[in-house]
Amino acid sequence: MNIKRNPSNLNQEFHIVVIGGGITGLAIAREAAERGLKTAIIEKNDFGCATSAATSKLIHGGLRYLENMEFGLVRESLRERKIMGNAAAHLVMPLPIILPVYNFSKPGKFMMRIGLRLYDLLSFDRNFFTPKDKKMPASRWISRRKVLELAPCMKEEGLKGGFVYYDLQSLHPERLSLAFLKTAVSSGAVAFNHMSADSFQTSDTNGKKRILSVHTTDLITGKKYKIRGQVFVNCTGPWLDYTLGRVMETPAQTLQRSQGIHILSKDICGKYAVLHRNEAGRHFFILPWMNLSLTGPTDTPFADHPDTLYPGYKDSSDLIHTVNQSLTNPIKTSGVKSILIGLRPLISSGTSTYKASRKSEIYNHAAEGFPGLFSVAGGKLTTSRDLGEQTVKKIIRSGELKGIAAKKSSSLKSPLFGSICYGDSHEEYEAKALRDYALTFLPEDSHRHLIRLYGTEHREILHLLKDKPQLAEQIVPELPDILAQVYYGVTHESARTLEDMLNRRLAMGTLGYPGDKAVQKVSGIMAKILKWTPAAARKEISAYKKDYPSIENVKQRESPGKKKKSS
């Protein structure tokens, strides 16, 4: 698969132009392209780089939503959880989660049991027509001793026991976003990252304004383009109302932006995840991931412009302090690898961001005098496929695609690009691939890593290695990525910056700062392919090191006297 940044592909009128390349925009582009609609998607940064990457890495039903009586949302999420597991077999795996029950726990054991039984009931079909490696047992009670055995990080005092239940874990959300994108591109979509939407050209007929085109800038080359379309979809997430402000004076839609922080640290709790609500009523996850621990999230209002988002040292320290109060094996600052931060674009409800619904909304702005303009707000990673489908169906039903007959298509049982057939076993495919496609000079661990990241597409990397076996070398010995992935990321996956490559095409940048040696080696390869000047390469390295959300950088940015921006 080759995501080509070919400007000549923009010289046409598209049926649908999607603005925003997060998981929602990518899911919409996939649905539209698979229906034969000429589709373009543009993203001002990189695909899946903002909210879509800063998640808890869960594909989940939303157990906590039961407290808000959102049974429909939970059922939808559980249905989509199963679909995602079957459609992206190499990127999604079951994860056991422990709910410890203490003397102070609210809700207590009885209500937790009812909630989990309801969760099991709403996911009654979770194991229907799913492979063995995706099947999930029902929730169960475990003893106090067993909780401490499986989650040795938790404090013993006041512990009664706990429950174990299952959700799915998205092993690499960045690669999951790319799988949606590649599915769209394989069906004919045109995709550009690093392409800003600057302004809109409109026509005015009887007080109704129709967008004719979006004027854009390629932020890599500086060149300007005009992208024409019949329908424009605003999928800019936390930037949604700012994007609408370029079209209309006073957008009716408003957002609550909720800041979520996760701490990535050395492993503190083993292979089982923990979902705990402490005595103050604050809940958090401790999630095992790539032999590390991901802890969070926070949920606090964010009032500034989304472009200013960066982790705050005080917010991060407060999260660590809160979590450590419940642990025997505390998170140490020296063990923090990175701090993830994202903004949840929640629909304004007048409640706190913690209690605000995670439901999505699809807005047809025809009622506001802008026919052909749609916006999508809210939503989450788990339900992105369904949101994409519902958005495209609403566009088709609206009649805005005049004279265009969309093909019948359904993504309900369609694999994402790189996955095997829908519902097939990844474990079986992996074992077969390790046997059938083995290269004598490629270690099995590296081969397994490629299968996990790329699925069936890993064979393209192997084909590259057959011609250039020297590219089988690991970028740095202690990390799994190899040199061939850098070449592939530039030539086939539209990686144009060091951050694109290290944080979203490879695994290494998601595991903590990969080290100067790795950064320089990757930069050197990219510089040759993209013809960076030495000055441009140094600028890329400097920007990556400066902006990487390490605890040191976060601490340095937030001096004691600096006013905090995120509340």
CA 466 to centroid of chain Cα atoms? 32
Cα–Cα distance for residue pair 471/468, rounded to 1 Å = 6
- Beta strands, E only, 49-139: 58-59, 92-102
- Respond yes or no on whether the N-terminal peptide bond of residue 251 is cis (omega within 30° of 0): no
Q: Which domain holds residue 286?
A: 86-170+256-347
* 133 and 160 both lie in a single domain: yes
Confidence tier at 355 by pLDDT (50, 70, 90): low
* 314 and 375 both lie in a single domain: no
Confidence tier at 541 by pLDDT (50, 70, 90): very high
Give me the mean pLDDT over the 68-93 stretch. Answer: 95
CB 26 within 8 A of CB 177: yes
CB 14 within 8 A of CB 38: yes
Q: What is the pTM of this model?
A: 0.95
Note whether residue 409 is domain-resident.
Answer: no
Give the pLDDT confidence score for residue 358 in this predicted structure.
58
* 115 and 224 both lie in a single domain: no
**Tokens describing residue 170:** 């998205």
* 308 and 448 both lie in a single domain: no
SS3 labels along 274-290:
EEEECCCCCEEEEEEEC
Q: Quick check: 562 pLDDT over 60? A: no
Placement of tokens 């600096």 in the chain: 562
Q: Quick check: 16 pLDDT over 90? A: yes
Cα–Cα distance for residue pair 61/64, rounded to 1 Å = 9
CB 300 within 8 A of CB 312: no
CB 385 within 8 A of CB 83: yes
* 233 and 276 both lie in a single domain: no
**455: amino acid identity, one letter:** G
**Tokens describing residue 338:** 């990175």
Closest to 489 (Cα-Cα) out of 474, 467, 507? 507
* 133 and 249 both lie in a single domain: no
Q: Quick check: 396 pLDDT over 80? A: yes
Note whether residue 561 is domain-resident.
Answer: no
Distance of CA 518 to CAs 244, 339, 524, Å? 41, 20, 10
Confidence tier at 566 by pLDDT (50, 70, 90): very low
Q: Quick check: 2 pLDDT over 70? A: yes
**Tokens describing residue 529:** 């392919």
Cα–Cα distance for residue pair 162/148, rounded to 1 Å = 10
Cα–Cα distance for residue pair 45/306, rounded to 1 Å = 13
Closest to 284 (Cα-Cα) out of 273, 295, 293, 294? 295
* 334 and 390 both lie in a single domain: no
* 160 and 268 both lie in a single domain: yes
Q: Quick check: 296 pLDDT over 80? A: yes
Per residue in 417-459, pLDDT tens?
A: 999 999 999 999 999 999 999 999 999 999 999 999 999 999 9
Residues 6+ apart with CB under 8 A from 251: 241, 244, 245
Give me the mean pLDDT over the 108-117 stretch. Answer: 96
Cα angle 195-199-204, degrees, rounded to a multiple of 5? 140
Q: What's 223's domain CATH number?
A: 3.50.50.60
Distance of CA 243 to CAs 175, 196, 198, 249, Å? 26, 11, 9, 11
What is the torsional sign of CA 11, 17, 22, 23? negative
Q: Phi and psi at residue 202, in whole multiples of 5°? A: -125, 160
Query: How far separated are the first and last CA of the chain, in Å rounded?
Result: 43
Note whether residue 353 is domain-resident.
Answer: no
Beta bridge partners of 292: 266, 289
Q: Quick check: 199 pLDDT over 60? A: yes
Give me the mean pLDDT over the 164-180 stretch. Answer: 97
Cα–Cα distance for residue pair 551/531, rounded to 1 Å = 33
How many other CB atoms are there within 10 angstroms of residue 334's CB atom? 8
* 291 and 190 both lie in a single domain: no
Give me the mean pLDDT over the 120-132 stretch. Answer: 96
Note whether residue 69 is domain-resident.
Answer: no
- HSE-up of 183 (CA within 13 Å, CB side)? 29
Note whether residue 286 is domain-resident.
Answer: yes
Note whether residue 217 is domain-resident.
Answer: yes
What is the DSSP code (8-state) at residue 530?
A: H
Q: Quick check: 509 pLDDT over 60? A: yes
User: Which H/E stretch holds residue 387?
Assistant: helix 384-398
Q: What's 481's domain CATH number?
A: 1.10.8.870
What is the DSSP code (8-state) at residue 445?
A: H
Note whether residue 471 is domain-resident.
Answer: yes
Cα–Cα distance for residue pair 42/22, rounded to 1 Å = 10
* 179 and 306 both lie in a single domain: no
Domain count, the chain: 3
Cα–Cα distance for residue pair 195/225, rounded to 1 Å = 9
**Tokens describing residue 429:** 């495919």
Instruction: Write the DSSP assignment of 179-193 as a string of letters.
Output: HHHHHHHHTT-EEES
Q: Quick check: 135 pLDDT over 70? A: yes
Closest to 344 (Cα-Cα) out of 480, 439, 237? 237
User: Which H/E stretch holds residue 228?
Assistant: strand 224-234
Closest to 44 (Cα-Cα) out of 238, 249, 315? 238
Give the pLDDT confidence score for residue 351 in this predicted structure.
58
Q: Quick check: 559 pLDDT over 70? A: no
- Greater model confidence, 564 or 467: 467
Q: Quick check: 504 pLDDT over 50? A: yes
Q: Quick check: 352 pLDDT over 80? A: no
Q: Quick check: 357 pLDDT over 90? A: no
Give me the mean pLDDT over the 525-532 stretch. Answer: 97
Specify the long-range contacts of residues 561-564, CB closer than 8 Å, at least 24 apart: 564/312, 564/314, 564/315
Q: Quick check: 327 pLDDT over 90? A: yes
Give the pLDDT confidence score for residue 255 in this predicted structure.
85
How many other CB atoms are there within 10 angstroms of residue 211's CB atom? 21
What is the DSSP code (8-state) at residue 400?
A: -
Q: What's 159's domain CATH number?
A: 3.30.9.10
Confidence tier at 211 by pLDDT (50, 70, 90): very high
* 367 and 431 both lie in a single domain: no
CB 495 within 8 A of CB 526: yes
**396: amino acid identity, one letter:** I
CB 18 within 8 A of CB 40: yes
**20: amino acid identity, one letter:** G
Note whether residue 166 is domain-resident.
Answer: yes
Give the pLDDT confidence score for residue 560 in this predicted structure.
54
* 34 and 94 both lie in a single domain: no
- HSE-up of 129 (CA within 13 Å, CB side)? 9
Beta strand 273-277 with 92-102 is parallel
Beta strand 39-42 with 283-289 is unpaired
Confidence tier at 465 by pLDDT (50, 70, 90): very high
Residues 6+ apart with CB under 8 A from 537: 523, 524, 526, 527
